[in-house]
A and B are shown apart, each in its own frame.
Chain A
Amino acid sequence: MKRARLAAILPFLVLPLVPLLDRNNSHIDFLANAGAFIVLALGLNIVVGFAGLLDLGYAAFFAIGSYSYAMLASQQFGIHIPFWVMLFVASVIAAIFGILLGAPTLRLRGDYLAIVTLGFGEIVPQTFLNLTQYTNGPNGISSLDQPSLFGRGFGFSATPYYEVMLALIALAVFLASNLQSSRLGRAWMAIREDELAARHMGINTTAAKLAAFALGASFSGLAGVAYAAKLDLVSPDQFQFNVSVLVLSMLVLGGMGNIWGVIVGSFTLSFINGFLLPQSTNLAHAMHLNLDFTNYRFMLYGVILVAMMLFRPEGLIPSRQRQAELREAKLDPALLAEEQAEYTGGAR
């Protein structure tokens, strides 16, 4: 137990030193962006991995978090709430929207839930696009307030943002792993396994699901603020459906329900997306080849996901439950039927 905790803390002691070793600002910039997506993935993992509620519109909460910062910390309305306060405010705003958007879906499961959340994921960016007088429509909101710490602005270097992202990841890991081994975490698992039985244990399934939506959304509020501040621009096209799919793919690749798996999956896809493909393209151009590998991004995701489904459906670092569920689902159906008959044989 002690050793596991040490292993969890160690990366957060070493990784802040990376900008000292790697002076290339574009590398740190890439890592900071990847960090935002890790926080997002950890948030979605609460909804999908822990509570088993398939959410295909998670980018909506990312948008809400980002626009919160853009509207409350810029010249847009002349409101200038400090960055650090906004982290808290935006996660509360996102959580409230998590409840508002979660409430109508409570009776839905599986495919139906996925379709409704997909709809919300489309509605939110569309709303920001069309509320032109508040959001500047497709142009988005730019010139956001620069965060500062002890009176010093973050400036143009990516390093402070990188450090902020690391801190947010540490916070997200801390909260998510606490949740997992708690009364609420067990309630989520129980709902995922058997909702009716969960109710008979005294679990208020409505409240537990709303808590999952709210907490999951609040993580993307954090990520949204930090991402918006770093980019200095928020526009509707940053939060399209492909962002929701990307974050969900991170969970599938890494291992749904497992915090470290989710981090690895998230970083892997970010690495391909933000480093490997652009670098390969640069290399190709240097060799006078007219190839743009970034165009093949989604094809590559597709290949990765199909390969994962074929060879390791539980993800790179799976949670114990998922692994057992998926591995046993591959058993011979005849054997399963036999087992089923044995189970129900005596009853009625």
Chain B
Amino acid sequence: MAPLLRLTDVRKTFGGLVAVNDLSFEIEAGGIVAMIGPNGAGKSTVFNLITGVYEPTSGAIDLDGATLCGLKTFKIAARGVARTFQNIRLFAYMSALDNVMTGRHSRMRASLFDSLLHTPGQRGEERRVRERARDLLRFVGLERQADDYARNLPYGGQRRLEIARALASEPKLLLLDEPAAGMNPKEKSDLIELIRRIRDTGITVFLIEHDMHLVMNVSERIAVLDHGEKIAEGAPEVVRNDERVIEAYLGRESTAPH
């Protein structure tokens, strides 16, 4: 069976800069996988390549055996890839509920005609989507903030709202870009629990994270990126003790005198 996500020799250059260097990588359906690496290692670029913000310079990206290359971002979303952003990108002046309902866009069928005339089908769909959005807000613990503007939620709440919005499309693959950034320890442990609950619903989670405690705790497999190359991959305990990983994070032990 084909893996859920497969990157084959993916390369992305910006002018002379090689952001992602012939990266090959697979994610099986149903788990929690993390990608770590120092700042500027190319992690967010990988997410942007998967969601079609950038096109790979060379290489192939497949979801469920079908290529994502050349597809527009909105089509990739419809294929079942949802994401959150490193710098939260909520619709700031829309209510939490409307944010989540917007996340459902790709699964809704109301046409221009339905939107103009509010046909019975459109009204039924709106009602179901609103119910579903409330369920998702409950799932991430924001049911009481449904009518608040996204920007008025506390920081941790905004992170969770972004996740709820991403889940609204019932994705196969959920990309979380530094979900714990800026969270306090309590929020982080809640997040770990939330990520596990998401996995338990059958959604594959792929996350970028700097918080090692969270990564080691929640991931079943970790890939390490440095200068756009994958330097290690495996279970948390394997990666933790990998020499190249330690070197990438801490630097090479200096042997030559200054």
Contact across chains for B114 and A182 when beta carbons are under 8 A apart: yes
Interface: B82 (CB within 8 A):
yes
Closest Cβ of chain B: how far from A76's Cβ, in Å? 32
Contact across chains for B74 and A204 when beta carbons are under 8 A apart: yes
Closest Cβ of chain B: how far from A178's Cβ, in Å? 5
Contact across chains for B112 and A211 when beta carbons are under 8 A apart: yes
Contact across chains for B118 and A178 when beta carbons are under 8 A apart: yes
Interface: B182 (CB within 8 A):
yes
Interface: B145 (CB within 8 A):
no
Contact across chains for A193 and B122 when beta carbons are under 8 A apart: no
Interface: A309 (CB within 8 A):
no
Q: Which 4 A-B pairs have the closest CB atoms?
A: A202-B106, A346-B182, A182-B115, A202-B77
Contact across chains for A348 and B182 when beta carbons are under 8 A apart: no
The contact of B74 among A185, A194, A202, by CB within 8 Å, is A202
The contact of A183 among B77, B88, B105, by CB within 8 Å, is B105
Contact across chains for A200 and B51 when beta carbons are under 8 A apart: yes
Interface: B9 (CB within 8 A):
no
Interface: A101 (CB within 8 A):
no
Contact across chains for B112 and A186 when beta carbons are under 8 A apart: no
Closest Cβ of chain A: how far from B155's Cβ, in Å? 7
Residue of A whose beta carbon sits closest to that of B98: A186
User: What residues of chain A lie closer than 8 Å to B74, measured between beta carbons?
Assistant: 199-205
Considering only residues 175-203 of chain B, those with a C-beta below 8 Å from chain A are 178, 180-183
Contact across chains for B72 and A199 when beta carbons are under 8 A apart: yes
Contact across chains for A200 and B90 when beta carbons are under 8 A apart: no
User: What residues of chain B lie closer than 8 Å to A108, measured between beta carbons?
Assistant: none
**Most-contacted residue by chain B among A175, A178, A193, A343 (CB, 10 A):** A193
Considering only residues 117-157 of chain B, those with a C-beta below 8 Å from chain A are 117-118, 122, 125-126, 149, 155
Contact across chains for B78 and A202 when beta carbons are under 8 A apart: yes
Residue of A whose beta carbon sits closest to that of B110: A183
Residue of B whose beta carbon sits closest to that of A348: B39
The contact of A201 among B86, B103, B117, B118, by CB within 8 Å, is B103
Contact across chains for B98 and A193 when beta carbons are under 8 A apart: no
Contact across chains for A348 and B115 when beta carbons are under 8 A apart: no
Asked, given contacts A184-B115, A347-B87, whether A199 binds B77 with beta carbons under 8 Å apart, the answer is: yes
Residue of B whose beta carbon sits closest to that of A189: B94
Residue of A whose beta carbon sits closest to that of B81: A200
Closest Cβ of chain B: how far from A181's Cβ, in Å? 8
Contact across chains for A186 and B102 when beta carbons are under 8 A apart: yes
**Bitwise interface map of A from 135 to 159 toward B, beta carbon under 8 Å scored 1, else 0:** 0000000000000000000000000
Taking residues whose C-beta sits less than 8 angstroms from the other chain, chain B's interface range is 35 or more
User: What residues of chain A lie closer than 8 Å to B75, measured between beta carbons?
Assistant: 202
User: What residues of chain B lie closer than 8 Å to A190, measured between beta carbons?
Assistant: 91, 94, 102, 105
> What are 30 of the A-B contact pairs (CB < 8 Å)?
A178-B116, A178-B117, A179-B116, A181-B126, A182-B116, A182-B118, A184-B115, A186-B94, A187-B105, A193-B91, A193-B94, A199-B72, A199-B73, A200-B77, A202-B74, A202-B106, A202-B107, A203-B105, A204-B72, A205-B74, A211-B112, A215-B116, A324-B149, A342-B182, A343-B182, A344-B87, A346-B182, A346-B183, A347-B181, A348-B178
Interface: A291 (CB within 8 A):
no
Interface: A197 (CB within 8 A):
yes
User: What residues of chain A lie closer than 8 Å to B89, measured between beta carbons?
Assistant: 194, 196-197
The prevalent SS among residues of A at the interface is: helix
Contact across chains for B183 and A183 when beta carbons are under 8 A apart: no
Considering only residues 64-115 of chain B, those with a C-beta below 8 Å from chain A are 72-75, 77-78, 82-83, 85-94, 98, 101-103, 105-108, 110, 112, 114-115
Residue of A whose beta carbon sits closest to that of B91: A193
9 A-B pairs besides A189-B91, A201-B74, A346-B181 with CB distance below 8 A are: A178-B115, A183-B110, A200-B83, A202-B74, A202-B75, A202-B106, A346-B182, A347-B86, A348-B39
Closest Cβ of chain B: how far from A330's Cβ, in Å? 15
A348 to B86, CA, bound (A): 9
Contact across chains for B106 and A201 when beta carbons are under 8 A apart: yes
User: What residues of chain A lie closer than 8 Å to B210, measured between beta carbons?
Assistant: 348
Contact across chains for B115 and A183 when beta carbons are under 8 A apart: yes
Interface: B169 (CB within 8 A):
yes
Interface: B160 (CB within 8 A):
no
A109 to B93, CA, bound (A): 19
A133 to B71, CA, bound (A): 47
Interface: B12 (CB within 8 A):
no
User: What residues of chain B lie closer than 8 Å to A332, measured between beta carbons?
Assistant: none
A324 to B152, CA, bound (A): 11
User: What residues of chain B lie closer than 8 Å to A189, measured between beta carbons?
Assistant: 91, 94, 98, 102
User: What residues of chain B lie closer than 8 Å to A197, measured between beta carbons?
Assistant: 85, 89-91
User: What residues of chain A lie closer than 8 Å to B88, measured between beta carbons?
Assistant: 343
Closest Cβ of chain B: how far from A332's Cβ, in Å? 17
Considering only residues 6-25 of chain A, those with a C-beta below 8 Å from chain B are none
Contact across chains for B53 and A196 when beta carbons are under 8 A apart: yes
Closest Cβ of chain B: how far from A324's Cβ, in Å? 6
**Bitwise interface map of A from 86 to 108 toward B, beta carbon under 8 Å scored 1, else 0:** 00000000000000000000000
Asked, given contacts A179-B115, A183-B115, A184-B112, whether A201 binds B149 with beta carbons under 8 Å apart, the answer is: no
Considering only residues 187-236 of chain A, those with a C-beta below 8 Å from chain B are 187, 189-190, 193-194, 196-205, 211, 215
